[in-house]
Amino acid sequence: MRATKEEYKSVIFSGCSIDYMGVSICNLANHHRRIVRSNEYQVWSDRHKEYYLFKNIDDAVDKFVEIKSKRGKI
């Protein structure tokens, strides 16, 4: 079963991060409250050498899904 974008957003809104085969997404405000005061979403993959910051959860989840879909293509 595949997760939907709404399910990914729900997990992030609950304060958790998601890691899937080397691709990760999190709300930095949940992990670095002193540094990040508003919601900023980080999407990264060391494997693909891609790192992004977003103010919008929809954009962050879209990028997470995009990178996740190329997991076998390095």
**Which pLDDT belongs to residue 31?**
67
**Which pLDDT belongs to residue 67?**
93
**Which pLDDT belongs to residue 3?**
85
What does the domain layout of the chain look like in residue ranges?
5-69
Edge-to-edge order in the sheet of strand 41-45: 18-20, 23-27, 41-45, 50-54
Contact 28, 50 (CB under 8 A): no
pTM of the model: 0.84
**Which pLDDT belongs to residue 50?**
94
* φ and ψ at residue 57, rounded to 5 degrees: -65, -35
